[in-house]
Amino acid sequence: MLTGSESAELVVLSLLSEGASYGYQLTKDAAARSEGHLRLTPGVLYPLLRQLENEGLITSSWDAVRAEDADDAGEGRKRKWYRLSPKGKRRLGQRVEAYESLRRVIDAFVGVRPREEGTR
Amino acid sequence: MLTGSESAELVVLSLLSEGASYGYQLTKDAAARSEGHLRLTPGVLYPLLRQLENEGLITSSWDAVRAEDADDAGEGRKRKWYRLSPKGKRRLGQRVEAYESLRRVIDAFVGVRPREEGTR
DNA sequence: GCCAATATATCGGTCGGCGATATATCCGTC
DNA sequence: GACGGATATATCGCCGACCGATATATTGGC
């Protein structure tokens, strides 16, 4: 399981890098991709989306429900579409690097398998 | 940089799986192995050691300073040696598995590189 | 007409990470 | 013999963030 909002940011930016999406879809995508291990609950997701928008990493607009009409702000039902900004794209790159760096650090420890009993 | 105490537990158990050690040494080892990225500060380390001992994952004893005499509780200067218990060894295994699982989950996202502009 | 699924959003209590701080010993050196 | 930096262990409690709980409206299937 994984709910920390640090990884949540990485995941949301990553999903949006593949194209525009919206809140509910993001929770579903996250769960599907991680085979249920990643639960992007409303309490985590929406505050995060707001924060990302405030930082200028994503943009939002209320547009048509159908994906192919996502830019059409005409009549009918709407939902809130989010898109990755250029700044967000850069941030995603940084986050990926940070993750890979962390990965190497932890691997430096878990890569080493136990030796023997007793004292060093 | 990485200070979360979740990873701290993994790291401490991992270091102790290589042999007995003590607080100050653990901070130094952690920094060295991670090339300075992992700062196991006193405020993180000692509460963690206490907790790990309470859970029966490690044991401690005040013994001689010299590593080769670490079991000798005779005269002279002492320091507090920590050792991984069998239970701790099992926990380490679980934590490594959990880490590798998390790793796979995140990789499922960062492995996917950006496609093109616009809508899904 | 009803229920489950879809869709977005806020709030605040709870929990814990970790900076700041305290204390004591050891050793080199001036 | 005293000063300072490194060694070594330990506690405390502030601050802030995480996210469970909750609210609300719409849609679609039966």
Q: Which domains does chain A have, with CATH numbers?
A: 5-110 (1.10.10.10)
Q: If you average pLDDT over residues B75-96, what whole number do you get?
A: 91
End-to-end CA distance of chain B: 34
Q: Each residue of A70-109: pLDDT tens digit?
A: 555 556 788 999 999 999 999 999 999 888 888 888 888 8
Q: If you average pLDDT over residues A7-28, what whole number do you get?
A: 95
B39, pLDDT greater than 70: yes
CA dist., res. A2 & res. A7, Å (int): 8
Distances (CA, A) of B50 to B17, B44, B79: 17, 11, 15
For an interface test with A, which of B9, B99, B106, B113 has the most A Cβ atoms less than 10 Å from its Cβ? B106
Question: Which residues are within 8 A (CB) of A104 and not within 5 positions of it... i.e. 6 or more apart?
Answer: none
- Secondary structure of residue B58 in the 3-state scheme: strand
The C1' atom of D11 and the CA atom of A14 lie apart, in whole Å, by 42
Per the model's pLDDT, the better-predicted residue between B111 and B3 turns out to be: B111
Based on the number of CB atoms within 10 Å of its own CB, is B113 exposed (0-12), middle (13-18) or buried (19 or more)? Answer: exposed
pLDDT at position B117: 52
Give me the total of CB pairs closer than 8 Å, taking one residue from chain A and one from chain B: 100
Give the number of other CB atoms < 10 A from CB of residue B13: 24
Please state, for a pLDDT cut of 70, what percent of chain A lies above it.
Answer: 82
Give me the half-sphere count of Cα atoms (radius 13 Å) on the Cβ side of residue A96: 19
Q: If you average pLDDT over residues B13-20, what whole number do you get?
A: 95
Contact present, B106 and B79 (Cβ < 8 Å): no
Strand D contacted by B99 CB (< 7 A): no
Residues 49-78 of chain B sitting with CB below 7 angstroms of strand D: 49-50, 65
Q: How many helices (H) and strands (E) does chain B have?
A: 4, 2
By DSSP bridging, strand A78-84 and strand A58-64 are antiparallel
pLDDT at position A89: 95
| A32-36, A39-43, A110-114: segment of lowest average pLDDT | A110-114
Question: Which residues are within 8 A (CB) of B3 and not within 5 positions of it... i.e. 6 or more apart?
Answer: B38, B39, B41, B44
Q: If you average pLDDT over residues A26-48, what whole number do you get?
A: 93
Closest nt to residue A41, judged CA to C1': D19
Contact between A7 and B115 using a beta-carbon 8 Å cutoff: no
